[in-house]
Amino acid sequence: MQQPQNEADIKIAGCVSCVDGFIVSLLDLPDFHSSFGIRRSSLTFNAAQLEIRLMAKYIFVTGGVTSSLGKGIIAASLGKLLQARGLKVTIQKFDPYINVDPGTLNPYEHGECYVTEDGAETDLDLGHYERFLSIFTSQSNNVTTGRIYQTVINKEREGAYLGKTVQVVPHITDEIKRRMLLLGQDGYDIVITEIGGTVGDIESLPFIEAVRQLQWELPEEDCVVVHLTLIPYLRAAKELKTKPTQHSVRMLSQEGVHPDVIVCRTEEPLSPEIRRKIALFCNVKKEAVIEAADAPTIYEVPLAMMREKLDLICLRKMNITQYNEPELGKWKEFLDKLKYPKSKVTIGLIGKYIELQDAYKSILEAFVHAGAMNECKVNVVNVHSEFITEENVEEKLNHLDGLLVAPGFGHRGIEGKIIAVRYAREHKLPFFGICLGMQMSVIEYARNILHWRDAHSTEMDPATGHAVIDLMESQKAVTAKGGTMRLGAYDCQITEGSLAHRIYGSTHISERHRHRWEFNNLYLDDFERAGLVASGKNPESGLVEIVELPTDVHPFFFGVQYHPELKSTVENPQPIFVHFIKAAKDYVESKEEKRSVQKETAG
């Protein structure tokens, strides 16, 4: 029997008795279970028709002992391995905080807000999922406690519960379960669900209870629980300690959830004795105790998990026997380039949330992808925009090979960003501005080339005489903050022959957005007469998406209103980042040539 890719529908007209006979004969086929990986409970019947549908299987990833162990990386790595074996996989994240989404959270609180194609403001872990699996996620892939409660309360107000007392169990847990199973209806073979927080947290209890119920309700081979925990190494005693893991698993078991696999974060290798001890006291097989040692880069984790056979253990527990050898050629090629670069550049990241690296997570990962594509190590230097002045800008930026002015909101650190943009423009330093960074390049150009000294954005100065950046017309009546920005993918028409055209190799692109303020088209003619080119515009609204300087004026001066970093993946690095790093390499070479000429002249 040929194995279907995602979903098989076999429909047979006839009486019910004939259909029942067909079911029996089909289930008796020797390769039925192994080919389809389903049981009779996975069949759906419709009187005179029979539909055989491959049902999704579910993997839940929980965490214990401490936060920040890397559940998202483990989930993404497992997903990558299963995908590499020919299975259709998606990953979702359930966060226990009461915010409806992370859109209104300060980056210091929870890192960057990752925006999906459909405009969902989500947890940064969805960025890992997309970067590892090269798939698009959506609103359905990130659910918070706030969204769960909002849905249940709205239903209660509508009378959907028919006067029942609305409670955490069953109403909240039922809504959690509904959302956990939702993606399984979209033709995926496996849905991986990461449960945010740490086992034992009060706010995550309803999610753990929902997992318990699903572990009981679903067929045994359709549900796997992977628990990520910590094995600390006590340097004074020079030994690994398993007690925190034992307590974590015991706490999870007290909630009724029994892990099938235990993944152990550790600084030191796990000996066979340690593995046996964990298996014995945590009630799992010894082979289901997985070592997750610290890795030089997150992109080595999938290969580490493959060596530990994490994917094979999960496949065996899900009774999936038909799969391919993992196809990871591109991934390994990327890692080789990443580990053995032929050159090096130093890029300045000008931002105001630099104390927390997760605030710019997608940008940093896009640099990793672009660096590997250029066989170049990208050394990112954080420069706090709040502390850049006219007096110290030379000292802070003169050692850089490229400058990226990061996105953000609010007035803090704005003048420092404008000063940095001017330095890059005047010194022919490769410049890349994203969202607010692009807006700062427009303001700098207005002040120093058009000589509009009061030019500004109405976000920072509502009374400015030259509002070169202004609130979008569609945003002027908006008062609510959450989910009301210009969000998600929008089209952009690119001018032929421009730098943008050379970068993308196309005149039509689509990129993701997250902003309220935009280039003010009232001043567009003035800017273009002064040499700043609006090389990309939205075809429907005419809003400026890309600004650039001609390459005969500046080697690489490029600003975008959108967030290109959000679509950069290991296998498809974002082209602007790739060209930006190439420009930085060229800048390094030009500096070396100048030094060489100066030495010869001096000699």
Enumerate the active-site residues. Answer: 435, 563, 565
Q: How far apart are CA 180 and CA 94, in angstroms?
A: 9
Closest CA to 560 of 586, 536, 582: 536
Sign of torsion over alpha carbons 461, 462, 468, 473: positive
Structure tokens at 260: 């099938």
309-330 exposure pattern, b = at least 16 Cβ within 10 A, e = fewer: ebbebbbebbbbeebeebebee
Closest CA to 304 of 312, 294, 314, 313: 294
- Residues 446/447/451/456 CA torsion (nearest 10 deg): 70
- Please give the angle made by the CA atoms of 136, 261 and 169, to the nearest 5 degrees: 75
- Please give the angle made by the CA atoms of 379, 382 and 388, to the nearest 5 degrees: 135
Q: Where are the alpha helices (DSSP H) in 91-236?
A: 107-110, 125-133, 145-157, 173-182, 205-217
Q: How far apart are CA 562 and CA 438, in angstroms?
A: 9
- Please give the angle made by the CA atoms of 436, 441 and 444, to the nearest 5 degrees: 120
Closest CA to 54 of 298, 319, 424: 319
Cα radius of gyration rounded to whole Å, the chain: 27
Number of neighbours of residue 150 by Cβ within 10 angstroms: 14
